[in-house]
Structure 1
Amino acid sequence: MRNFRFLKVGVIFSLLLFLFTNSFAQDFILKDDLIDIRAKNKIIEIGSEVKTKTGVNIYVYATSSFDLDKNITTKEKIDYIRNYELDILKNIENPYVIITISLEDTHVNLYYSDSLEKIIDKNEILDDYVVPLLASKDKNTVASKISASVLNGYAAIADKLADSKNIELENNIGNQGKVASTIWRVFIYFVLFAALLAYIYAILRKRK
């Protein structure tokens, strides 16, 4: 009977923990077609701590597709995606930062509240933390790269918000994301530089 009570308490505790975690997932991860469970759990950890300590909500909307008509023009595509994303923004809580990504539409974007304009640099987050991992040429699956890039960008946003409040986050991933992005950027520069040298060498050799 005693063991049964412990088992019962354990089941109830597990259920409450699941509901607690899932509620945060619904709060911060609006759509997660492409995010694996490990990245999802880390996003929930970071997002809940940032919300508690700074009051800012960091959201993710990661989908396979925005269901675009394949026959529309580029301008129509831009307008459609913008309106799609604006509809998402109508239903989230201020202040906010949100990363949106669509795999089939090769689209990634970032929005934030006006009050965070001096804290969040959209181009820095996307160019330094998100896009490099998305564009990396490695053996990882597309889903893995999307999970990594979203988590990387999410963590960078969290760091920016924490720095603005002069607080320290316990659940963030530190500077790992920045290091990964920096390594990838150095690699790209090396490849371009090597290609340029090879091109110059070929021209000089041809002239001789």
Structure 2
Amino acid sequence: MPSIAKKVIFITFLTSLFLNANSSYILKQEYLKPQAAEMINTIGQELTLKTGVNAYVLETNESFPIGYNLVQYSERYHQKMKVPYILYLFAPNALITEKTKQRGRIGIIPSSNTLKALYDYDAVRDAGLDVITVKDKNSIIDKYNIGVLQAYSELADQIAAHKNVKMEHTIPNETQLFVNVIRVILYTGLILIVWIFFIKPMIQKRGKND
């Protein structure tokens, strides 16, 4: 009996390793550190379990020329992705303009057009760029790690929201929260200005006329 129990435990262990090895949501990584990669896979597994949508990350250091077709490039990894999927592609060395030599492209590629309704491209893109482009003491590699993780987390949250489920392992987008707070403050200030300089004087003027 003990030997049978050991065999069962060993088989279970091997099965677990096999499942984990085949559940990677990172198709290619040039900059991701183990900690960031682990968090992405954890978020990806939760997202697939709760929504049925697979979200993948592909990061490459290739220096793509201007206008290079990222969708066509992603097709190289098609067999590694399970439909339905959304791919987040990060290519920091891709050339954008020849004159300024500006580099860095982000692609968000769904397996079908219907999946585009599950996320806001600009919001997901900016979630990563806001981290990568900020001037601080972090190294560029650390920024890449944090930026890709933040963008992937934002993508997962948006997909989950459209599916009416809540993610537990994603990272709050503090930048977006800050922007929303500033937006509320600005709107509140605008309303106060309109009230003080326009609406209130009009009410007072009407009161005097009556």
- TM-score (norm: length of structure 2): 0.67
Q: Distance in 2 between matches of 1:118 and 1:95?
A: 13
Structure 1 equivalent of residue 19 of structure 2: 20
| Aligned residues between the structures | 171
Cα–Cα, structure 1 residues 185 and 16, in superposed 2: closer, same or farther, change >3 Å? same
Match of 2:143 among 125, 142, 145: 145
Structure 2 equivalent of residue 96 of structure 1: 85
Match of 1:55 among 9, 29, 52: 52
Q: Which runs of 5+ in 1 are unaligned?
A: 69-75, 187-208
Q: Distance in 1 between matches of 2:86 and 2:145?
A: 18
Cα–Cα, structure 1 residues 95 and 13, in superposed 2: closer, same or farther, change >3 Å? closer
Structure showing greater relative contact order (alpha-carbon pairs closer than 8 Å, 6 or more residues apart): 1
Q: Which runs of 5+ in 2 are unaligned?
A: 95-103, 182-210
Aligned amino acid, residue 62 of structure 1: E
- TM-score (norm: length of structure 1): 0.68
Alignment of 1:13-162 (within 5 A): 16-25=15-24, 28-66=25-63, 68=64, 77-88=66-77, 92-105=81-94, 106-112=104-110, 113-127=112-126, 129-162=127-160
Of structures 1 and 2, the larger Rg is shown by 2
* CA positional deviation for 1:79: 3.5
Q: Distance in 2 between matches of 1:171 and 1:95?
A: 21
Cα–Cα, structure 1 residues 119 and 18, in superposed 2: closer, same or farther, change >3 Å? same
Identity of aligned residues (%): 26
Q: Distance in 1 between matches of 2:79 and 2:10?
A: 38
Aligned amino acid, residue 121 of structure 2: K
In 2, are the aligned partners of 1:95 and 1:115 still within 8 Å (CA)?
no
Alpha-carbon RMSD across the aligned residues, in angstroms, is: 3.2
Determine if the alignment matches structure 1 residue 179 to structure 2 residue 174.
Answer: yes
